[in-house]
Structure 1
């Protein structure tokens, strides 16, 4: 690895931290009956994370309104909420942990993953790099196939 590439890669400590977060989020999603999919997106999914990269997750739930408060974020140890935004059918909750790691959780109804047709915004997210973490019914696998991923 070149010096420039090494300097632009996350530290081993950050990689462990993100791996622990993903493991915790996957177990959390599997324990919730309302969650039908959990997807890692962006730079961490495509193996291109930098030291300052945030972690992008998409939670597909039959009860998106249940995520308006921060009780679920506390279960995940996400830290303080620093922003909430709306991106079409996805509500973004951005959190910053005490160590500085930022985690963006996009919460949406399972319709976000419909494949007939695939929404243009959904397609952009999927083709930019994704990795299903929890997909008990194959909903995310079907979406990735429909997007050619």
Structure 2
């Protein structure tokens, strides 16, 4: 399953420029992820997924990979995406890497293994993230579709 070509429908409280920037970053990350065999899932979560982003909102994306160390120990991929690292924080099964674009838009990439999307049973924290708003961006094996179904 892949993200369709429709842009995220962001609320009118955002300027057209900010909405276009958010959609551009989401599209850039999605296209980049599709070219990497180790990325097995990309999930937009939070306010952007709920179509409730405000001018001060960040972009929250869960990136599931079979090679976590590649994204936790190396930064060339983030530079390729035009992102500058601001901090890293571990949340158990997920490691948050917070980035900033040149304009100051914050992008939170939560990096974890496919086990984060396990459905038997769904982890409490995972369920909370998904039920707060989630939109599949890249899901070649269908694990995120299964997770969303299990959380609905």
Q: Once the 2 structures are TM-superposed, how far is the Cα of residue 106 of structure 1 from its aligned partner?
A: 0.3
Determine the structure 2 residue equivalent to 1:112.
116
Determine the structure 1 residue equivalent to 2:36.
32
Total equivalences in the alignment: 141
Give me the TM-score of the superposition, normalised by structure 2: 0.90
Counterpart selection for 1:12 from 4, 13, 16: 16
Q: Distance in 1 between the 2:56 and 2:49 partners?
A: 15
Give me the TM-score of the superposition, normalised by structure 1: 0.92
Greater helix proportion: 1
SS at match of 1:45: coil
SS at match of 1:60: strand
1:73 partnered with 2:73: no
1:51 partnered with 2:55: yes
1:127 partnered with 2:137: no
1:86 partnered with 2:106: no
Q: Distance in 1 between the 2:60 and 2:79 partners?
A: 17
1:73-125 residue CA offsets vs partner (Å, 9 max, x unmatched): 111111x2111000011011001111010000000000000000000000000
Unaligned runs of 5+ in 2: 1-10
Q: Distance in 2 between the 1:22 and 1:31 partners?
A: 15
Q: Distance in 2 between the 1:59 and 1:125 partners?
A: 13
Q: Distance in 2 between the 1:24 and 1:97 partners?
A: 12
Q: Write out the 4+ residue segments of structure 1 that deviate beyond 3 Å after TM superposition.
A: none
Counterpart selection for 1:97 from 96, 101, 117: 101
